[in-house]
Structure 1
């Protein structure tokens, strides 16, 4: 079990229990997006009830100094986590597009990788709201570096 460290230790990291194969179509679509490929984003999986787990390996290309991940990249990961969590509850053939997101950076994003956990809060016909937490992982130590709220618009994807 990872240990939570830093000033933000009041919120502990607990990995979601993923369901293997759940929404593999969505995971493949997210990982195929050019922006996902650009930063190296990986979908670790989904859990029933609108939960997503995404991973971003640390690389110098996503930092501003070779060590700390740039805040916009952290926000991008949080956006992907929140919207993918909501999208995982939609029927096959449906997608969602971000309409708004707000990110609060809490600590420098330093470590070996970032993990983002998205959780759908409410999913409706016209919009969906989710939250996301982003953790910097160094070995078994987890530091909460950002929290976010995302809003997206579900739509039926055209083939």
Structure 2
């Protein structure tokens, strides 16, 4: 997506806002690439985020998809606005057992009230990346301050 971010400080503000959330702090991910309408979140493997045999638990994959899609949507918000998830659907496609999981979020349709975004979640191993989950996310844009 080629678009102009209305907030020139989006690359600093979006990660700061997201990483201040207790759920994000618990997961322990960090941001990779951040561009207008596109975000990459990198989650290191941690035993407390897994289920059987060290596979990432499905809810963790869903959370990462939600954070990535919502963050991508956040890059296109004006100054003084935030967004909140109002709906998301995640489809688990394969087990995730790599040393890291990468969630790549992207905006599908920006809007003034609602933004539709998506995310693909990949398990990363030495042999390469495997698509593990995909999500469609609806975000509600909320004005919190007057610019």
| TM-score computed with the length of structure 1 as normaliser | 0.82
Q: What's 2:74 paired with?
A: 87
Q: What's 1:46 paired with?
A: 34
CA distance in 1, matches of 2:46, 2:52: 11
* 2:104 matches 1:131: no
What are the residue-to-residue correspondences of 1:1-159 with 2, within 5 Å? 23-48=11-36, 50-65=37-52, 67-139=54-126, 141-158=128-145
**Displacement of 1:32 after TM fit?**
1.5
CA distance in 2, matches of 1:38, 1:63: 13
Mark the runs of 5 or more structure 2 residues left unpaired by the alignment: 1-8
The answer to whether the Cα contact below 8 Å between 1:22 and 1:45 also exists between their aligned partners in 2 is no
Moved over 6 A (4+): none
RMSD (Å) for aligned C-alpha atoms: 1.6
Aligned length: 138
The answer to whether the Cα contact below 8 Å between 2:11 and 2:35 also exists between their aligned partners in 1 is no
The answer to whether the Cα contact below 8 Å between 1:53 and 1:115 also exists between their aligned partners in 2 is yes
Mark the runs of 5 or more structure 1 residues left unpaired by the alignment: 1-20
Q: What's 2:3 paired with?
A: none
Counterpart secondary structure, 2:52: coil
